[in-house]
């Protein structure tokens, strides 16, 4: 499949912290600010954790309004946050409220690893949304990359790394909740989550661009030979 010039550059598209600012605001800054403000004004720790944890769900709704469509991952995030908040209120457990996001991260990690048994792993579909969006030309180009052995191997490797990383994060969240004060957990958990996501995205982009360059060099050598 011939790669259109405009799609050829898609994997190497620039990636900067600016793109992550909404996530940094809604998933990191707002939960910490809300928790500290509420506890300062006498709100119980349980309610402060729950109300601060609603911000990531609002972030998904924010992205829904312009497009009128929620992505599957967005639906999963909102669903887990809602279930976690309700379960925390029913149980009255601050500990459960602190670790409710661990169920989401662990579920995502399991989905990544489980998708390795499918024809195409989960991160293939997630990265396609970021790289191609709703552009049919870029979508066809991205789907066409599956014909290359190194791309298939690379996507499975990336999916494995994401799956393991998120399972480790889930365990660390539970560990923090067991040994640290709630205020510190509320601060550390979103910072860790954002940092992990940033590192994984940056590493994945670099890794996939390297695979693309490796494939292009091999094609050039084959053509010149």
Range of the domain at 109: 17-224
Q: Are 100 and 85 in contact (CB under 8 A)?
A: yes
> What total number of domains does the chain contain?
1
| Residues whose CB falls within 8 Å of the CB of residue 15, separated by 6 or more in sequence, listed in order | 201, 202, 205
**pLDDT tens, position by position, 169-190:** 999 999 999 999 988 998 888 8
Q: Which of 45-49, 81-85, 123-127, 213-217 has the highest mean pLDDT?
A: 123-127
Nearest partner of 182 among 3, 31, 49, 14, judged by Cα: 49
Residue 68, in any domain of the structure: yes
**110, 168 contact by CB (below 8 A):** no
- Span 17-33, pLDDT tens digits: 555 566 667 766 777 77
Burial class (CB in 10 A: 0-12, 13-18, 19+), 93: middle
Do 94 and 46 meet the contact criterion of CB atoms below 8 Å apart? yes
Position 76 in a domain: yes
Does any domain span residue 119? yes
Domain assignment present for residue 8? The answer is no
200 occurs within a structural domain = yes
- pTM (two decimals): 0.74
Confidence class for position 15, pLDDT limits 50, 70, 90: very low
pLDDT at position 6 is: 36
């Amino acid at each position: 499949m011939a790669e259109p010039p405009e799609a050829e550059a898609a994997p190497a598209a620039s990636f900067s912290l600016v793109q992550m600012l909404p996530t940094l605001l809604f998933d990191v800054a707002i939960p910490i600010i809300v928790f500290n403000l509420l506890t300062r004004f006498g709100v119980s720790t349980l309610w402060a954790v729950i109300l601060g944890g609603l911000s990531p769900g609002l972030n998904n709704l924010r992205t829904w309004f312009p497009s009128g469509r929620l992505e599957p991952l967005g639906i999963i995030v909102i669903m887990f946050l809602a279930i976690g908040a309700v379960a925390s209120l029913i149980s009255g457990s601050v500990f459960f409220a602190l670790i409710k996001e661990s169920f989401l991260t662990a579920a995502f990690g399991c989905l990544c690893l489980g998708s390795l048994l499918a024809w195409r792993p989960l991160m293939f579909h997630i990265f396609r949304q970021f790289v191609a969006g709703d552009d049919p030309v870029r979508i066809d180009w991205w789907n066409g990359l599956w014909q290359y052995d190194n791309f298939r191997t690379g996507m499975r490797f990336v999916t494995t790394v994401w799956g393991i990383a998120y399972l480790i994060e889930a365990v660390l969240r539970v560990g923090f909740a067991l040994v640290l004060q709630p205020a510190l957990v509320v601060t550390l958990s979103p910072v860790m989550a954002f940092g992990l996501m940033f590192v994984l995205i940056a590493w994945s982009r670099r890794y996939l661009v390297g695979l693309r360059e490796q494939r292009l060099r091999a094609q050039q050598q084959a053509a010149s030979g």
